[in-house]
Amino acid sequence: MKTTASGFRQAKGGRKLTMLTAYDYTVAHLMDQCGIDALLVGDSLGMVMLGYPDTLAVTVEDMIHHCAAVARGASSPLIVCDMPFMSSQRGVDDTLRNAGRLVKEGRAQAVKLEGGADFAPEIRALVRASIPVMGHLGLTPQSVNALGGYKVQGKSLAAAQKLLDDARAVQDAGAFALVLECVPAALAARVTKELEIPTIGIGAGPDCDGQVLVWQDMLGMFDRVAPKFVRRFGAVGDAMRAAFTGYAAAVRDGSFPAAEHCYSMEDEQQVLEKLY
């Protein structure tokens, strides 16, 4: 059954919501068969797909390219596309134009936008334009330079109060869900209790309404960073290394391709003899 933004919102208080990142057709298609509620085309693609040191260089064009591939691969999950750095920071008109492109060209069904009360006008304008918005608070990777690194957020009273106020502002502006990244579990639980919209945690403890992970992290494929909040649900990186090594060895020792991998032709000998 198709998950919509309003269905996602209504699930609060019922079942736990599941979201995973996805960046391409094949993986989206696999996830489509596994009952994942939402696929996030995250700007984390800058790091795990494009090899940048952070998410800051990712463009709207990058997001459209990957989101369209994901949308072609998955029909049941809600497709949420990140607004990359500087696509929502230049005012309402620019934000609307960029989000419109993610929906029209990338076939996104919702956008995710980092930021709190300061971004309420942008969220309101997107919702008015019928573009569902997922908020994102706590560790917002697009602000890595302002935050001074990838650190847990909301640890002091003042920071916790600001996060709660921002969460209320994002909800009041019309967001249908809110990602909480790297915040203390107790604070995430409090925000979750206060809000009517679902919270989706990543490094925010078990009391959020749902969880999200970067798929390369949960399958042990990306070893450049190893956040504490990641659980490995598979050793796919190890399996891939073994397969690539096995392929190279089989080509080199002549065992691949074998007879069963080859095409034959009729009258093979005759044809070959007639070739000049």
Any idea which residues carry the catalytic annotation?
181
Residue with smaller CB distance to ligand KIV, 128 or 151:
151
Cβ pair 20, 39 in contact under 8 A: yes
Q: Which stretch binds ligand KIV (CB under 6 A): 31-39, 42-50, 63-71, 125-133?
A: 42-50
- Applying CB under 6 A, the span of 40-48, 71-79, 149-157, 160-168 interacting with ligand KIV comes to 40-48
Smallest distance from ligand KIV to CB 61, Å: 17
28 vs 40, which CB is nearer to ligand KIV? Answer: 40
Closest residue by Cα to residue 48 from 218, 201, 199: 218
In whole angstroms, the minimum distance from the beta carbon of 235 to ligand KIV comes to 21
Query: Interaction with ligand KIV in 74-133: which residues (CB under 6 A)?
Result: 82
**Bond prior to 141 in cis (omega within 30° of 0):** no
* Minimum distance from residue 267 beta carbon to ligand KIV (Å): 57
Separation between Cα atoms, residue 178 and residue 187, nearest integer Å: 14
Q: What is the residue whose two structure tokens read 């070739």?
A: 275
Our measurement of the distance from residue 77's CA atom to the centroid of its chain's CA atoms, rounded to an integer in Å, reads: 12
Classify residue 198 by its DSSP letter.
Answer: P
Burial level of 133, CB count in 10 A (0-12/13-18/19+)? Answer: buried
Give Cα 51 distance to the centre of its chain.
16
- Residue 204 CB, nearest approach to ligand KIV (Å): 10
Residue 8 CA to residue 3 CA, distance in Å, equals 7
| 217 lies in the site for ligand KIV, by CB under 6 A | no
Q: How far is the CB of 250 from ligand KIV (least distance, A)?
A: 36
Query: Between 159 and 188, how does the x/- string for binding to ligand KIV read (CB under 6 A)?
Result: --------------------x-x-------
Stretch that binds ligand KIV, among 35-43, 65-73, 158-166, 236-244 (CB under 6 A): 35-43
SS3 letters across 41-87: ECCCHHHHCCCCCCCCCCCHHHHHHHHHHHHHHCCCCEEEEECCCCC
Q: How far apart are CA 211 and CA 5, in angstroms?
A: 16
Q: Kindly report the length of the chain.
A: 276
Q: Which of 3, 18, 44, 199 binds ligand KIV (CB under 6 A)?
A: 44
The mark string for 194-213 relative to ligand KIV (x by CB under 6 A, - otherwise) is --------x---------x-
Residue from 9, 17, 42, 209 in contact with ligand KIV (CB under 6 A): 42
Residue nearest to ligand KIV (CB): 42
Q: For residues 169 and 162, what is the distance between their CA atoms, to the nearest angstrom?
A: 10
Pick the binder of ligand KIV from 43, 122, 166, 209 (CB under 6 A). Answer: 43
Which stretches of the chain bind ligand KIV, using CB under 6 A? Answer: 21, 40, 42-44, 82, 179, 181, 202, 212, 214
